[in-house]
Amino acid sequence: MKIKLYLVIAILLGAVAIFSGCSKKTDEVTMQEASSDKEDKKADDKTKESKELKEPSIGYEEKAKRLTVSDYESYESLVLPEEIKKADILKVKDDRFLISIFLSCVRTDDMNEQEDLPKFIIRTEEAIDYVRDYLAKNAPSVYPAEQAAKQVYITIAKSKTYSFNVDEQKIEINFAGNTNRDFLYILALLKGRSKGWEQLGYAAYLSACVSPYSEFLGYEFLWSGSPYYQDWTDAGLGSVITKPEEMLTAFDLVALTNFRLGLSRWGGAGESVPINEHSLYNRKKDDKANTGDDDLSLFAAASFIGWLDNNYGFANVSEFCYGKKSFEEAFGMTYDEAYGSWKQYILEKYPYHTEEIEGTSEGDSE
């Protein structure tokens, strides 16, 4: 009888212990769940707070006549208020870029500011993304990932000069008008390199002849009285550039005119002034690149870079322009040999006025 009693007591004690253990574990689980709930709530609060901080906003400062747009994830949804018509400055800021536009620099008689300015902002975002993606895909060996990840500050203001600056956090671009945005951004990605014919030509080529977001597209590039006006018509171009490849044809025609008239300042700075007189020219003394700085205009250099790209590939062009390879290493020939082949290509493709070009006879090139 005693043995049976002991067994019953033992079983009861065991049950109590098991129940106690289960209860303890249940309490622990409950406490963990409660703690988890608190953490989730904190995370939700932070997310909510973050969303509140990132809520898109538009504000107008009457005294400064400044309209500020901030934190739009997509500018497709941006609708500018009526105040933009009396504003002097438009500021657009988010974690990707800061754009400051002094509106007198971009306003035209036929501009619809409420529609056209959001489109410009969208194109700016698309243009920067395009350059980054194009370099990453087509020139991975030189892709400047650290530079490309930086925030971009763009200022469009009244100024006779344009410039760029790169620091640890951002890339700053300053210019007048609105057609030099991509050109300056590409030069900024070349930080530390010389700015000779190859870099300036590379930036002009990639920004105007490759990117579909160039601000040159839709503009009347040809000016009245241009010495290549007839050449332009003969090449089948319209008065307005609509495609990047048409821009390359335009640059080819500038090169053709350079061969015919020399760099005698017959046109604008990009057309008929040697690159070594360009405001952004900066050939480092220890850079033994080649000749070219004094016998190419900016647009002719872009034409030459385009020819090199089409014949030897964008990766080789980029490695040369970024200083990873010498001219001979990248293209298997000297600069003079390549220059001669490019010139022959231009004269054969556009057989206009060849009788006026030194070294040619009856349309034959050198």
Q: What is the pLDDT along the chain (366 residues), one digit of tens a residue?
A: 433 433 333 433 343 343 344 444 444 434 444 454 555 555 555 444 444 446 889 999 999 999 999 988 888 889 999 999 999 999 999 888 999 999 988 888 888 899 999 998 999 999 999 999 999 999 999 999 999 999 999 999 876 668 899 999 999 999 886 668 899 999 999 977 778 999 999 999 999 999 999 888 887 777 777 888 888 888 888 888 889 999 999 999 999 999 989 988 888 888 999 998 888 888 876 555 566 788 899 999 999 999 999 999 999 999 999 999 999 999 999 999 999 999 999 999 998 765 556 555 443 433
Tokens of 350: 């556009």
Distance CA 235, CA 199 (A): 27
State the pLDDT at residue 45: 52
C-alpha torsion angle, residues 261, 264, 268, 272 (rounded to 10): 60
Contact (CB, 8 A) for 214 and 247: yes
State the pLDDT at residue 301: 96
Distance CA 330, CA 339 (A): 14
Distance CA 109, CA 251 (A): 29
Q: From edge to edge, which strands make up the β-sheet containing 170-175?
A: 57-61, 66-70, 89-93, 97-102, 151-156, 170-175, 163-166
State the pLDDT at residue 7: 35
DSSP-derived 3-state class of residue 153: strand
Contact (CB, 8 A) for 299 and 251: yes
Contact (CB, 8 A) for 226 and 267: yes
| Rg of the chain over all Cα atoms, to the nearest angstrom | 31
State the pLDDT at residue 80: 93
Distance CA 67, CA 266 (A): 42
Work out the end-to-end distance of the chain between its first and last CA atoms, rounded to an integer number of angstroms.
Answer: 125
Closest alpha carbon to 353 in 271, 216, 259, 244: 259
- Produce one character per residue of 229-268: b if its CB has 16 or more CB atoms within 10 Å, e if not: eebbeebebeeebeebebbbbbbbbbbbbbbbbebeebbe
pTM of the entire predicted model: 0.80
**Quick count: other Cβ atoms within 10 Å of Cβ 203?**
28
- Sign of the alpha-carbon torsion through 308, 312, 314, 315: negative
State the pLDDT at residue 295: 85
Q: CA-CA distances (angstroms) from residue 336 to 72, 290, 328, 343, 346?
A: 51, 9, 11, 10, 15
State the pLDDT at residue 159: 67
Going by C-beta distance under 8 Å and a sequence separation of 6 or more, which residues neighbour residue 293?
Answer: 196, 197, 274, 275, 276, 281, 283
Can you give the three-state secondary structure of 276-345, one letter per residue? HHCCCCECCCCCCCCCCCCCCCHHHHHHHHHHHHHHHCHHHHHHHHCCCCCHHHHHCCCHHHHHHHHHHH
Whose tokens are 């790209």? That residue is 309
DSSP-assigned states of every residue in 175-190: ESSSSSHHHHHHHHHT
Contact (CB, 8 A) for 334 and 323: no
Contact (CB, 8 A) for 141 and 122: no
Q: CA-CA distances (angstroms) from residue 191 to 145, 207, 211, 247?
A: 12, 17, 20, 26
Please name every residue paired with 156 in a beta bridge, in sequence order, or none if there are none: 101, 175
